[in-house]
Amino acid sequence: MASTDQPVDELVAEAVARVAGAQPGGLEYVVDGAASLLAASADRWPGVSRALLGVAERAVGRCWAAGWQPADLVRVARRELGPVQVALAVDLIAAEGRRHPAAALDRRWREQVRELDARPWWPSDEAFLPEFAARHRLDRFALATAALELLRAWALLPPVQPVGPVPGQSAPRASEPRSGEPRMLGRIRALLAKAESTGFPDEAEALTAKAQELMARHSIDEALLAAGGGRSADDPAAVRIGVDNPYEGPKTMLLDAVAAANRCRVVWAKEFGFCTVVGFDADLDAVELLYTSLLVQATAAMHRAGSRKHKDGAARTKAFRQSFLVAYAARIRERLAEATERATEEAAAGRPDGAGDGAGPDGGPLPAVPAGGLLPVLAARAEAVDDAVGKMFPKLVSQRVRVSDGEGWVEGRAAADRASLHRGSGRIAR
């Protein structure tokens, strides 16, 4: 049994271990006891802060080694705990990140850390818990409880399939994007953001068309550069995209529709609330951008459609919305498949074998089409993605999503027909 007379480092380590190993039936009792010991003394609180950060840094490092990434750990806190633990998760990730220079991190890892705004803000490790408590208006016991609950949730995570280099163990991918690409990605994101926010359908169509034009051009150029030896170590990669309730099944269907149109594959880990998308870097960026934009449009259209009731007055809104989103995803799949086929045909027809004229993604000449044509290049990339999925996930099963509301199905397909897609383009990339 831990005691307040113990050295602070031992006290914190034992408290965290006891909570992590507690059985569910007695968890509340164990957490209360451990938190009481950590919070008992105001004089020892700075020492507890320093020791807890040390324990947390090691816990986060073990999660990295088990295949988890920053956005995953925050998602766990959001799904299983509450806002305080979410904020604490971001700070503990920032604390662990002090061990790794930014230049040694993979591009996507850096993007996750930046989007989370995970950066140390506290003046010293001894000041972390006191400052955090003041920021969130917590007493010592409440904060100790939140920290113990969060570290337990992370300790119980099983190993998952890695989707990128782990900080401190692997060098960034050799196929990191060129310096000009983030600027293009920013332009595309800005165009899609305007398309989502405008109240004028014609304007949304024009903005989305422009974004897709940029992305389609870049995606095919990337494939041709790789085929011509202009890209080193250009192998399929993977990203995780959070897909949470409500309506996680239809949302996953929408993501799969977008991924398929961009020659990527989706594997759904329902129990963890995320999907793994496997594909080439340019196409993975495409999937993230277009999925996010279409999900915003679908959600807005679903809420505009309102709620529904049965004839006897019983609510059927959940069934209506489930069917709405399933139909939306199914129709978007059809539209994207048609657009992808047209865009590929136009690119192949507009750039004969061996042609390399025009402006490429860096402002230089466009990459030449190999002697065999464009379609074999794209087919080879699709085959490489399938092979990567087979190696990463050798035991896959299909998932069915039910539809039980006919009106929701009809409304969903109609909304998908109104979604901002340009008829001349279907593939999107950064």
- Among 51-65, 202-216, 234-248, 388-402, the minimum mean pLDDT is found in 202-216
Query: Mean pLDDT, to the nearest integer, of 178-200?
Result: 67
pLDDT score for 427: 37
pLDDT score for 165: 87
Query: Mean pLDDT, to the nearest integer, of 172-176?
Result: 49
Q: Virtual CA dihedral for 194, 198, 204, 206, nearest 10 degrees? A: -70
If you ran DSSP here, which 8-state letter would residue 384 be given? Answer: H
Query: Mean pLDDT, to the nearest integer, of 108-135?
Result: 94
pLDDT score for 330: 86
pLDDT score for 426: 38
Q: Does 271 or 202 have the greater pLDDT score?
A: 271
Asked if the bond preceding 182 is cis, omega within 30° of 0, the reply is no
Query: Could you tell me if 276 and 239 are in contact, meaning their C-beta atoms sit under 8 angstroms apart?
Result: yes
Query: Mean pLDDT, to the nearest integer, of 171-179?
Result: 48
- φ, ψ of residue 292 in degrees (nearest 5): -60, -45
For the cut 70, the answer to whether the pLDDT of residue 121 exceeds it is yes
Query: Mean pLDDT, to the nearest integer, of 289-312?
Result: 73
pLDDT score for 405: 45
For the cut 60, the answer to whether the pLDDT of residue 181 exceeds it is no
For the cut 70, the answer to whether the pLDDT of residue 362 exceeds it is no
The overall average pLDDT reported for the chain is 79
Beta-carbon contacts of residue 124 (< 8 Å; ≥ 6 apart)? none
- Among 49-58, 90-99, 221-230, the minimum mean pLDDT is found in 221-230
Q: Is the pTM of this model over 0.75?
A: yes
Under the banding of pLDDT at 50, 70 and 90, the label for residue 351 is low
Query: Mean pLDDT, to the nearest integer, of 205-218?
Result: 64
pLDDT score for 212: 60
What's the token pair of residue 397? 């099963």
